Amino acid sequence: MQTERLRIAIQKKGRLAKECQELLKRCGVKISFSGERLVVHAENMPIDLLLVRDDDIPGLIMDGVVDLGVIGENELEEVRLERIAMAKPAEYDLLRRLDFGGCRLSVAIDKDNTYNGPEDLNGKRIATSYPNILKDYLDKKGVSFSTCMLNGSVEVAPRAGLADAICDLVSTGATLEANGLKEAEIIFRSKAVLIQRKGEFAQDKVELIQRLLTRIQGVIQAKE
């Protein structure tokens, strides 16, 4: 269903939420975030914000349900690969890489083990929330492995005897260290990105998106 107003999906709560809201504010979009609302209307522009879990944002764009979305490239790529495997629509346009949400998806192993390269992961069980990105990467390296799918507490899996290694998001490495693990292989570098659905847009929406992009450019440049 197409609406007159531009629909933008952003994370409701979590690591991207605050910076998304801040970016929109700096772009001059007037929004008052309050309570448990799923949709909030901008006061001064024809923009509606959808506040959702980040996991849902790539699908909302790929199904054409919302016009724009802000999402970590890690989540975007994981959903894209998953949808390709299920023969579901998996396309989007990348409008801009943003200047927040930086992290990397890495394989980590027991800190006392040696690591000589991906071949050391052959036959191992790896706990992760990103089975598709991991498989894509290790398939290309000719490594066969099994996964242990976990959506939380991935870093405790080796100690709990559930897996030999993990593949999880890392920013400082403190969580790995606290769990007796060390980063062995970076498989994906990620930042937050602004993406757009495929398909037709009314002319006024095209112009609004262009105006937003120009402002985002200005906001990011001003910080550099």
Contact between 54 and Zn ion (CB under 5 A)? Answer: yes
Q: Which does 103 bind (CB under 5 to 8 A by kind): ligand ATP, Zn ion, none?
A: ligand ATP
Query: Which residues on adjacent β-strands are paired with residue 114?
Result: none
> Please, which residue, 54 or 77, has the CB nearer to Zn ion?
54
> Please, which residue, 146 or 153, has the CB nearer to Zn ion?
153
Q: Which does 101 bind (CB under 5 to 8 A by kind): Zn ion, ligand ATP, none?
A: ligand ATP
> Please, which residue, 15 or 215, has the CB nearer to Zn ion?
15
Single out the segment in contact with Zn ion by CB under 5 A; choices: 17-25, 46-54, 184-192, 196-204.
46-54
Half-sphere exposure of residue 132: CA atoms within 13 angstroms, side-chain side: 13
> Please, which residue, 14 or 117, has the CB nearer to ligand ATP?
14
Helix intervals (H) in the chain: 17-26, 57-62, 73-85, 131-140, 174-178, 203-223
> Please, which residue, 75 or 185, has the CB nearer to ligand ATP?
75
Q: What is the smallest separation between the CB atom of 66 and Zn ion, expressed in angstroms? A: 17
Residues 6+ apart with CB under 8 A from 56: 9
Contacts to ligand ATP by CB under 6 A:
11, 13-16, 53-55, 72, 74-75, 101, 103, 169, 171, 190
Residues 6+ apart with CB under 8 A from 22: none
Assigned token pair, 76: 């975007």
Contact between 55 and Zn ion (CB under 5 A)? Answer: yes
Torsion angles phi and psi, residue 2, rounded to 5 = -85, 140
Q: Which does 16 bind (CB under 5 to 8 A by kind): ligand ATP, Zn ion, none?
A: ligand ATP
Using CA atoms, how far residue 46 sits from 23, 98, 204, in Å, is 17, 23, 10
Amino acid letter for position 202 = A
